[in-house]
Structure 1
């Protein structure tokens, strides 16, 4: 059977390399001015893109250029010029949202493969067919679709590639077409400058008189009630010590939906998170790689009920987020706003390996969270995650220590029976399990 593509975010060249090391088939990246990631974007110029594309192709992988900004008149010519220059570098496809630019690309560079961005909000099979007839090779479907709707779109367009988001942050607006950031901080989300205003903490204040500056903080519990529909239940405004997060959705985690998505014959499973850490990216990509490969093996064997292995659930439990939900894939479920951050229940990253001394059998590490000799640790590698004993540790001064602290570097000494392939050691992590 044809395996779906596992598509990972690449915020910069380093994160791209980790994505490939942990099992991604392709990555997507964009230039700051012309994709929806203007901040924390490491692909600053054509040289960065050229290096990324060359690296991907050397591995037999794919590199998609995200060019999904919705430009205003002042940016049209510069966008066209940038696209033509980037096309010459040989990306495997362009991810585009603006209809005008889709039409323009079909005229001036008809050989270029075009993927329609999720920003175009494709939610039905007629729209999908329209784009396919226009020359679009793949449509990235809206996050708001149920699985039954996705399979119906595929049934009506069997020759059109379909891509769906399976993991990552969810925008309160329709697939990210939001104006809240622009209104609050004058940073336009649709130009790649979103400051995540919807996810920030807010407090509720009382203003007893119109145009009165004597604000004072509310006390007690509060809810929102539709004044035109009093029969509807009030919406609780949950508030913790930081504030209320009414507009902050939980993250999509479609691990348990992977068998159904594969059975539907979808072409690409996409992970969100170009600004996430290399550890987050590696652990998530590894989890979905294992899920896809396991489901494929079970389907080949004719297993009637395909199941996600426990190891996949364990791996994803080491990922922080805002709490997980299947989104709309399992039906018209409501978004969940109970919290803005949840610690990973399985544990957390302790340190990232930055170098390996094979003679001393020691890893030089960049410490992310505090850990000691007595902590239960795993060594996380592209080929697996397994318990790992530590014999001793040294801090950045070379002094023997019992504990290493975040923001520092140190050395971790391993038993000789721990196999550390030297060619891949820089992609390893030490992961601290919950006691």
Structure 2
């Protein structure tokens, strides 16, 4: 046996045994590349043939084989593939870059170069009908989720100060939007993000640009514009990732993709669908000339209404001034003056009656008071005697000889001294 058969020579050391499986490898016992690459080939060879779809790129023919690259239009991924020239010729149309095909191929691992390639057996062109059917399925699924519901749409601002524009690095879309918008409203400004608008880089770049503009508080509305193209070129704007990203944009979104007949799914999720980039430029801002005319018309209408109201009030005032009551205003007071005189006389009579009644009553009370007053008794010669404490003396026994008393008579009063009490000196009287 030779060394290639895994047996050592007579004078050579026994080789180290390699791990049997990948799980048994370690930093101390790794597989060499020459051992790993065939292992990968064995694993890949067990894979069944698969139908795979992609966009054609870099078509080259060599003898009976056609070499090409299958590219995913949504992700930046690609695989090399080979096809029998006969199978390609049976398509009936030339296989050119950008075409979409479906290939029935089996993965093949090239051990020496360590590369994977799809070895095709059959090839079919992806027709427009197939693409439309897939888009319709995606459209139905997204609609069921409510992404196209009118309730989700928000109105565009009447006068945006800053417009975010996502457009191609080259093309007329940017010019059409900016030129038409600034022609209508010169004060509007733009935040422009130039991106790739077709191919595998379109989706991630457009999504990143929309998110960046949405995060800027000064941006009032976002416009995504592209100036037309083939149906396949507009497919990124129907990509599920882009549509979902657009549905999460908070800033009002305007879709201006292609021409009026084009209708990618981005149009359905946007808050406003412009038929062209030119239409978008006209829609996002008002027409300053028309608004100025509207202001002038409104001012004229208000001025006319105000003048008509003033004239109407002047006519009413003139009519009111011609009335007799306005010609001789004092006549309005005549009825009130007569009424006031009547009330004045009535008040006088009432006051006289009140005073007469009060006077009679006062006289009556005065007579009664005089009749009941001690003064009348005093006038008949009687006197009121009070002791030193001011008490009226009703019993002579409370006094002692020598006590002083106050005697009030009809006219004045005097102080007297008790010399004797009645009964002690009967000759006194």
Interval of TM-score (by shorter of Structure 1 and Structure 2): under 0.3
The structure whose Rg is larger is: 2
TM-score of the pair, normalised by structure 1: 0.21
